[in-house]
Amino acid sequence: MSIVRDGPGSAPAPGAVRPRRPVRGLARSLLITAALIYLVLFLILPFVIVFGQALAHGLATYWAALVDPMAVAAIRLTLTVALVAVPLNLVFGVAAAWAVAKYEFRGKSALVTLIDLPFAVSPVISGLIYVLLFGAHGWFGPWLAAHDIKVMFAVPGIVLATVFVTFPLVARELIPLMQSQGRDEEETALSLGATGWQTFVRVTLPNIRFGLLYGVLLCNARAMGEFGAVSVVSGHIRGLTNTMPLHIEILYNEYNATAAFAVASLLALLALVTLVARAALERQAPELRRKPLPGPLP
């Protein structure tokens, strides 16, 4: 039995099997409808509810919730933590991606596994680990107390927890990108007399700039919205260690829903800005569009 392609105006040969065509008609309409319903229920509707509740009592009430001293302190702390965590993870992500993509060495698989570790560990567990290390009864707690150094229930603990949960994001974006580019251009630059720094700035960095911006964008969004790990190490001290997500939780538990949704709308706006910036980057660099990997990075 053979497969025969029918030409214009020709009849199928006896015993021929027509090739299967793409799914069309009703099935395609059902799939598109299901996808749209899912997006509306789990993406668009929550955004509408957040902004609707935030503005339910007018702009004056909304603005009053944002300029409240406790809200201002939470916003300031969130921005401070992001300004510290993102550059640290940027440096680590570039260094880790360079090592994994450009060199072969013992322990390479272990390094990649460690990079993926925060994806496998619950943020709450990571926060608990920091408490066991730096808490009053932890491994380093007595030494820190003797030298009057505060890590837990203070800004340093929040920064450490945020760095841990966000550090894979930049590296995970850069490793496959740098692996796909190979080492030919860098080796050519070195053979022409360029130093290692010149090679990085003039050859490597221009090739990974969009991936770098993409990773920084995701890292910043995760740093500003982190809840689990920060909740464990912060101590929930109003005006001192409450970030925006923690402040939202406290307001909601106090039945101050309008103020809680007002602050939550800022994080929702951050999410929208992140999506718009991501789409802009992907339009400029189509190769940055996410594709499922066949397995763990080598």
CATH number of the domain that residue 245 is part of: 1.10.3720.10
One domain, residues 143 and 200: yes
Q: Considering the domain boundaries, does residue 293 fall inside one?
A: no
DSSP 8-state class, residue 203: I
What is the span of the domain harbouring residue 181? Answer: 59-288
219 shares a domain with 105:
yes
- What is the number of structural domains in the chain? 2
pLDDT at 49 over 60: yes
The encoded tokens of residue 295 equal 């397995």
Q: Supply the angle between the helices 69-102 and 168-181 in degrees, to the nearest 10.
A: 30
Q: With respect to residue 25, please indicate whether it lies within any of the assigned structural domains.
A: yes
Rounded to whole angstroms, the Cα distance separating 21 from 222 reads: 43
pTM for the model: 0.80
pLDDT digits (tens, 9 = 90+) for 54-111: 888 889 999 999 999 999 999 999 999 999 999 999 999 898 888 888 888 888 888 8
On whether both 181 and 279 belong to a single domain, the answer is: yes
Does residue 136 sit within a domain? yes
In a domain, 189, yes or no: yes
- 151 with 10, same domain? no
**Separation between Cα atoms, residue 278 and residue 211, nearest integer Å:** 10
Do residues 48 and 91 share a domain?
no
What is the model's pLDDT at position 76? 95
pLDDT tens-digit series, residues 260-292: 999 999 998 888 888 888 777 777 765 544 443
Mean pLDDT, residues 223-244: 90
**Do 98 and 234 sit in the same domain of this protein?**
yes
Mean of pLDDT over the chain: 83
Give a yes or no: residue 297 inside a domain: no
Give the pLDDT score at 74.
Answer: 94
Residue 30 included in any domain: yes
Evaluate whether residue 295 is within a structural domain. no
